[in-house]
Amino acid sequence: MTAAALFSERSSSLRRGALTLVVAALLYEALARSGYFPQALTPTLGAIAHTLFASLADGTMILHAAATLYRVLIGFGFAVAIGLPLGVLIARLRPVENFVLPLMSALMPIPSLAWVPVFILWFGLGNTVSVLIVFYAALFPMLLNTWSGVRAVNPIWLRAAGAMGANEHALFWKVIVPGASPFIIAGLRQSFLRAWIAVIGAEMLAGSDWGLGWVIFDAKEFLDADVMLASLIVIGLIGFATERLVFGSLERATIYRWGMARSGRV
């Protein structure tokens, strides 16, 4: 296929994609205006946009988003700080693996949010619960991916480095870490995705006064569907931005640069 043909096909795909979104938006608008459902349940797009801009302008939405991001980053940070070294340890040391893996396979099938009621009893309502839930949700993908990444490092590389006289330290930093990096980055990505889901759920169940999950759940009481949809948009945008900007550029800066283009996808 020539470049021009490829380009024209791309642009027509783009046009059709945009058309879909416009049609979907128009259908929704028609439904909202038809009065078939109460206005409170299906607000018009204009009302949603108005709510979104108003809450952004007076700063409430930004504060909610900041509270959610704070919780997610702390929990995710702990999960990485523990999951990454532990993942390397279980891959390198058999006794640690024998001890951690059975526990992990028993804990992993429990959805993180199932712990919310227990954690509320133990720690009370508030940030601790959300942060712990995020930690629980993000830990396992991190651990599992690091573990398989370190194990998947090509043994030939290890032997070659050993033959060239690399010591343990150099072996770890120059061979194992770059070799495992596609898996580790996939792990970071999956962990963040899980963390982002968990924080919304935790905020709904263990709501404090701030947070995007709490706003959505609280808006239900007042039948504020426009607030809910506006917060949904913010949640989606933040998730999308981290996925594309943060992890996309992380991937480009590390594994593509090192020539290990095996990127993991969820």
Give residues in contact with other proteins (CB under 8 A): 12-13, 16-18, 20-21, 24, 41, 94, 98-100, 102-103, 105-118, 120-122, 144, 148, 151-152, 196-197, 200-201, 204-205, 212-213, 216-217, 219-220, 223, 225, 228-229, 231-232, 235-236, 239-240, 243, 266
Are 211 and 30 within 8 A, CB to CB? no
98/249 with CB nearer other proteins: 98
Are 230 and 51 within 8 A, CB to CB? yes
33/220 with CB nearer other proteins: 220
The nearest distance, CB 266 to other proteins, in angstroms, is 8
221/257 with CB nearer other proteins: 221
66/96 with CB nearer other proteins: 96
Residue of 263, 238, 232 whose CA lies nearest to 250:
263
Q: Which amino acid is at 223?
A: L
Number of H helices, E strands in the chain: 12, 0
The nearest distance, CB 257 to other proteins, in angstroms, is 26
DSSP, residue by residue, 43-107: --HHHHHHHHHHHHHTSHHHHHHHHHHHHHHHHHHHHHHHHHHHHHHHHH-HHHHHHHHHHHHHH
12/256 with CB nearer other proteins: 12
128/257 with CB nearer other proteins: 128
The nearest distance, CB 116 to other proteins, in angstroms, is 7
Are 235 and 197 within 8 A, CB to CB? no
Burial string for 248-257 (b: 16+ CB within 10 Å, else e) reads eeebeebbee
Taking CA atoms, 206 is separated from 91, 96, 118, 214, 233, in Å, by: 36, 34, 11, 8, 22
The nearest distance, CB 149 to other proteins, in angstroms, is 10
The nearest distance, CB 28 to other proteins, in angstroms, is 12
The nearest distance, CB 118 to other proteins, in angstroms, is 5
The answer for residues whose C-beta is within 8 angstroms of residue 7's C-beta and 6 or more apart is none
Rounded distance, CA 61 to CA 243, Å? 21
The nearest distance, CB 166 to other proteins, in angstroms, is 19
The alpha helices in 93-154, defined as continuous H runs, are 94-107, 116-123, 127-151
80/189 with CB nearer other proteins: 189
